[in-house]
């Protein structure tokens, strides 16, 4: 579950008058299944959760502890040493994990609503055990929302901004005598699916569960609609020749071209190459890819531009079924998102003799 989704659920619970607990992994050492920035929401008296802080025995213990805190508005820091032998039911990781547990009532609604929008900013949490949670959301230098009457000084904001730039998923830092956990609230990246056929149907589901926002674009309203894509963040029905008028593909966008035919794929790809998208992938065989690339070269598209294209699309998993192919594509999106283009990622590239795998 992506973090905006957790905050959105939290806001809906607070609006309904329910108390919630937010658990955040704020530090780890050694080998730990829960990574810094992992979050879990505990609600319904401790009987329901959303998200994860690593699973296993430790998570079960944290859920129980958070559930017991729901009668008050407070915060605590929990530390766990993870076992090193198989007989230790806490696991065999041999690391340690530290979690911030915060409980909230309806007075925190504004903050959770603000974070759930997915707009860029910095979420600052004061690590102050046994006190009401102190959280501040800043967008640039503007205070968007807070659960306490505090505001970092301009000098502190610069320190926090640098810490977030280096560790966007979150990091602990000390600033002006306060122990802080700071993290980015930037929107999740957008997987822009051109084509709304059976393959996109599965890609959308996998991408959403992997923490991407999803936009679907197709010329056919009978395919691009809310019934087929109930969880899509955006659905556009329009002419493929006018893609740029509807969706702005930027560095946080991952373009997946899986339209109904070669001609439409080429039309979309030509426009996609004019964007700063982090990823551009196109479905199809090597022969199809060579043909489309030759057509685009004839229009003045350079080999350097074409080398950005992942085609054939997806990681090599031996995929056959639409579900498996969709999974291989989303795996590639995750790999690019987390590791970048240069991390031993094999895809179709331009060479003097054509395209090489």
pLDDT class for 119, splitting at 50, 70, 90? Answer: low
- Give the pair of three-digit tokens for residue 16: 């309904």
pLDDT at residue 47, rounded to an integer: 95
Identify whether residues 127 and 210 lie together within a single domain.
no
Range 179-206 average pLDDT: 93
Which of 256, 118, 266, 278 is closest to 195 using CA atoms?
Answer: 256
pLDDT at residue 292, rounded to an integer: 97
Range 181-206 average pLDDT: 93
How many domains is the chain partitioned into structurally? 2
Identify whether residues 130 and 218 lie together within a single domain.
no
Indicate whether 198 pLDDT > 80.
Answer: yes
Decide which of 150, 184, 218 is a domain's last residue.
Answer: 184
Q: Which residues pair with 350 in a beta bridge?
A: 355
Which of 136, 79, 72 is closest to 110 using CA atoms?
Answer: 136
CB 96 within 8 A of CB 80: yes
User: Greater confidence, 250 or 65?
Assistant: 65
Identify whether residues 178 and 194 lie together within a single domain.
no
Identify whether residues 167 and 223 lie together within a single domain.
no
Instruction: Tell me the C-alpha distance between 167 and 215, whole Å.
Output: 27
pLDDT at residue 60, rounded to an integer: 94
Identify whether residues 101 and 146 lie together within a single domain.
yes
Q: Annotate 61-84 with DSSP letters as a single string.
A: HHHHHHHHHTTS--EEEEEEEPPS
pLDDT at residue 88, rounded to an integer: 47
Instruction: Tell me the C-alpha distance between 199 and 195, whole Å.
Output: 9
Domain carrying residue 161: 3-184
Identify whether residues 274 and 242 lie together within a single domain.
yes
3-state secondary structure at position 169: coil
Which of 23, 5, 125 is closest to 64 using CA atoms?
Answer: 23
pLDDT at residue 111, rounded to an integer: 94
Indicate whether 92 pLDDT > 60.
Answer: no
Identify whether residues 201 and 79 lie together within a single domain.
no
pLDDT at residue 168, rounded to an integer: 84
Q: Annotate 265-288 with DSSP letters as a single string.
A: HHHHHHHHTTS--SEEEE-S-HHH
Decide which of 135, 155, 184 is a domain's last residue.
Answer: 184
Identify whether residues 32 and 176 lie together within a single domain.
yes
Indicate whether 354 pLDDT > 50.
Answer: no
pLDDT at residue 13, rounded to an integer: 97
Task: Tell me the residue ranges of DSSP E strands in the chain.
Answer: 20-29, 39-43, 48-51, 75-81, 96-104, 122-126, 134-139, 142-146, 171-175, 178-184, 190-194, 213-218, 234-237, 253-257, 279-282, 309-310, 349-351, 354-356
Indicate whether 349 pLDDT > 70.
Answer: no
pLDDT in tens, 257-292: 999 999 999 999 999 999 989 999 999 989 999 999
3-state secondary structure at position 257: strand
User: Pairing mode, if any, of strands 213-218 and 234-237?
Assistant: parallel
pLDDT in tens, 307-345: 999 998 999 999 999 999 999 999 999 999 888 876 554
Quote the mean pLDDT of the chain. Answer: 88
| CATH code at position 313 | 3.40.50.720
Identify whether residues 162 and 212 lie together within a single domain.
no
Indicate whether 86 pLDDT > 60.
Answer: no
The pTM for the full model equals 0.69
Decide which of 184, 211, 245 is a domain's last residue.
Answer: 184
Identify whether residues 157 and 19 lie together within a single domain.
yes
Identify whether residues 91 and 21 lie together within a single domain.
yes
Identify whether residues 254 and 300 lie together within a single domain.
yes
- Give the pair of three-digit tokens for residue 166: 């280096």
């Amino acid at each position: 579950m992506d973090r905006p989704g957790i905050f959105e659920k939290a806001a809906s619970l607070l609006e309904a008058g329910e108390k919630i607990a937010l658990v955040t992994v704020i530090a780890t050492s050694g080998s730990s299944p829960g990574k810094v920035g992992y979050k879990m929401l505990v609600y319904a008296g401790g009987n329901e959760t959303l998200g994860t802080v690593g699973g296993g025995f430790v998570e079960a213990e944290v859920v129980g502890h958070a559930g017991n805190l729901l009668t008050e508005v407070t915060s605590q820091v929990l530390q766990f040493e993870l076992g090193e032998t198989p007989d230790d039911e806490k696991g065999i990781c041999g690391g340690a994990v530290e979690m911030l547990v915060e409980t909230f009532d309806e007075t925190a609604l504004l903050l959770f609503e603000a974070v759930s929008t997915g707009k860029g900013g910095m979420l600052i949490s004061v690590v102050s055990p046994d006190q009401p949670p102190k959280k501040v959301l800043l967008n640039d230098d503007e205070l968007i929302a807070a659960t306490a009457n505090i505001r970092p000084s301009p000098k502190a904001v610069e320190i926090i901004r640098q810490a977030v730039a280096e560790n966007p998923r979150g990091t602990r830092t000390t600033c002006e005598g306060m122990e802080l956990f700071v993290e980015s609230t930037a929107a999740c990246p957008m997987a822009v699916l051109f084509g709304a056929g059976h393959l996109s149907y599965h890609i959308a589901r996998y991408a959403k569960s992997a923490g991407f926002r999803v936009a679907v674009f197709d010329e056919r309203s009978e395919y691009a609609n809310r019934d087929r894509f109930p969880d899509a963040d955006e659905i556009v029905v329009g002419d493929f020749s006018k893609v740029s008028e509807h969706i702005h593909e930027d560095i946080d966008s991952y373009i997946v071209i899986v339209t109904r035919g070669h001609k439409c794929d080429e039309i979309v790809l030509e426009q996609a190459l004019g964007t700063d998208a982090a990823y551009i992938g196109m479905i199809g065989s090597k022969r199809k890819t060579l043909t489309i690339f030759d057509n685009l070269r004839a229009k003045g598209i350079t080999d350097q531009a074409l080398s950005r294209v992942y085609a054939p699309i997806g990681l090599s998993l031996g995929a056959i079924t639409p579900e498996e192919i969709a999974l291989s594509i989303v795996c590639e999106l995750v790999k690019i998102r987390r590791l970048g283009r240069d991390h031993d990622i094999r895809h179709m590239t331009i060479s003097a003799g054509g395209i090489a795998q």
